[in-house]
Structure 1
Amino acid sequence: MTVELLQPTDVAGGTYSLALVGMLGTAVLLFLGTGWVSRQWKLPVALAGLVALIAAAFYLEAREAWAAAQHLPVIYRYIDWLVTVPIQVLTLYFFIAAVARPPVGLFWRLLVVAVVMILARYMGEVGFMHPTLGFLIGIVGWLYILGEVCFGKLGEINSKSASETVQTGFFWLRLVVTVGWAIYPLCYFIASFAGGIDDAALSIVYNLADFVNRILFALIVLYAALRESVSTR
């Protein structure tokens, strides 16, 4: 078996390795963290760790593909997103469920919308549907998720929470979903409607963005869970 080595000037390839190490470290930390937090916080912490672990598996495979061809087909990222984005959305649900139980119907709506959002973007980007339609469905799905976490039932429960730690943690999680996740439709728009983007530049942007969208997201969940667990003991 031949192992492709990264070249010293391959900055994009280096970001794949950097993200791989970061995701593995985050996954280990979060899984260890499930033993440090109280019972109601174990599930959101474990889900955040699962996202990091799946992302690490993606980066391991993607790094090899990049080193071999200096190109990463979009199917790699969409397979990863199709699994991890719904889990992250449900992490938000269970983060709030640690202090008050949201409606079960909201669980299923968030899950379905997250899956449809990713599938629509994929189908639009590879030509299975019109790129504009895929872009618009993706935007609507993202806005629906933002609406639920900011102004819907999740946001309402958070605003009524007596815990300042939960409110602060959820504020930062919403900020990640609002600002950090904006990179995905932006890159989609550039790739589909604005003349495209260089593969290396796109890889660097996506890989570094994951330090916010996945690693920072996970650390916020763990930090809030630890603070709440200590305060209730």
Structure 2
Amino acid sequence: MIPDLLTAAQHSTVYNSLSLVIAAQLFTAIFLLISLPRVLPRYRPAITIALIVCGIAAYHYFRIFDSFNAAYTTTAIGGAGDYTLAEGAAFNEGYRYVDWLLTVPLLLVELVAVLALARAMQNKLLMQLVPASILMIVLGYPGEISEDVGVRTIFGILSTIPFLFILWVLFVELSKSLKTQPEAVRGTISRLRYLLLLSWGVYPIAYLLPSLDVGADGWVWKQVGYSIADIVAKAVYGIIIYQVAKTKSWIEDPSFAQQERSHAETVSLTERAVKP
């Protein structure tokens, strides 16, 4: 369902959305790397996973970006004309699914890790969430690459089944663990589940767009939808995970909190001193 022709505006829309995701994922990964010492060691695995997720996404979006640039060419000066699908070239949608196959399970591991639950509870949640997330991605791929609307619909429905199971675990099973969390982060962790629901809800909508027979516009907005959802589900989500880990670190270790406050005050005084 890759269009043979894109207008200059359609090409720029996809080009810029892919570029935006690369920047968001790459610099979020750098921020998380720099911020690792700002949380207690028990929460660093969660931040490390968030960093890995953004790093994987940045890498795959570089590949998607290169694939898109190679797939479409124009003879217009300054790229102001229409773009046609290059002979023998194709846009590789598979990069997204390889990315999701790695990052979606890690996003769920990231959430469980920042909760710092008892080992038995962690293992129970992960044994439910990780296989279901892998199955969700695997079942979605045959429909993504098919040009048959019926095939897309069937595999879209099949991939929705593990998605609904994941939601059940997040909103029923995980809720039992929220009461063990500090009150200062309980609301944030609860809202993280809604953030996942909101961002993941974009994927099936974008998935179905090409099936609605809206031409190249449907394919373009599918790429934009996937891009926005990936920023929210990985970069924004990772920053919130970091804030939860930082808050819990300060609550659990007052001396660590005081050390962090002193560091922040020192940085602030230094910045004021160097201002002209």
TM-score (norm. length: structure 1): 0.87
AA paired with 2:45?
L
- Summarize the Cα distance change of 1:125–1:166 in structure 2 as closer, same or farther, 3 Å threshold: same
Paired position in structure 1 for 2:54: 52
**Mapped pair 1:151 → 2:169:** no
AA paired with 2:176?
E
Tell me how far 1:162 sits from its aligned partner: 4.3
Match of 2:154 among 128, 133, 136: 133
Match of 1:191 among 206, 210, 216: 210
Check the 8 A contact 1:100/1:157 in 2, yes or no: no
Distance 1:93 1:228 in 2: 14
AA paired with 2:57?
A
- Summarize the Cα distance change of 1:132–1:198 in structure 2 as closer, same or farther, 3 Å threshold: closer
Q: What per-residue deviation string (whole Å, max 9, x for no partner) do you get for residues 192-216 of structure 1? A: 4x22653322222221222211111
Rg bigger for which structure? 2
Match of 2:100 among 67, 81, 104: 81
Q: What per-residue deviation string (whole Å, max 9, x for no partner) do you get for residues 20-57 of structure 1? A: 11111111111222221112211111111110000000
Q: What per-residue deviation string (whole Å, max 9, x for no partner) do you get for residues 115-147 of structure 1? A: 110000002222499333311221111111111
Paired position in structure 2 for 1:26: 28
Tell me how far 1:150 sits from its aligned partner: 0.8
Q: What per-residue deviation string (whole Å, max 9, x for no partner) do you get for residues 160-214 of structure 1? A: 124123312212210111111001112222334x226533222222212222111
Paired position in structure 2 for 1:200: 220
Q: Secondary structure at the match of 1:224?
A: helix
Q: What per-residue deviation string (whole Å, max 9, x for no partner) do you get for residues 29-86 of structure 1? A: 1122222111221111111111000000011111111122247332121111111111
Distance 1:99 1:112 in 2: 20
Distance 1:195 1:16 in 2: 23
Paired position in structure 2 for 1:209: 229
Tell me how far 1:103 sits from its aligned partner: 4.7
Distance 1:132 1:198 in 2: 16
AA paired with 2:153?
T
Distance 1:49 1:29 in 2: 9
- Summarize the Cα distance change of 1:143–1:172 in structure 2 as closer, same or farther, 3 Å threshold: same
Check the 8 A contact 1:146/1:177 in 2, yes or no: no
Further displaced range: 103-112 or 73-82:
103-112
Distance 1:146 1:111 in 2: 12
Distance 2:156 2:17 in 1: 27
Distance 1:191 1:87 in 2: 28
Paired position in structure 2 for 1:4: none
**Mapped pair 1:92 → 2:141:** no
Structure 2: segments with no counterpart, 5+ residues: 1-7, 73-89, 254-276
Q: Please report the RMSD computed on the Cα atoms of aligned residues, expressed in angstroms.
A: 2.2
Matches within 5 A, 1:210-225: 210-225=230-245
How many residues align structurally?
A: 223
Q: Secondary structure at the match of 1:73?
A: coil
Structure 1: segments with no counterpart, 5+ residues: 1-6
Further displaced range: 133-142 or 63-72:
63-72
Check the 8 A contact 2:209/2:218 in 1, yes or no: no
Check the 8 A contact 1:138/1:185 in 2, yes or no: no
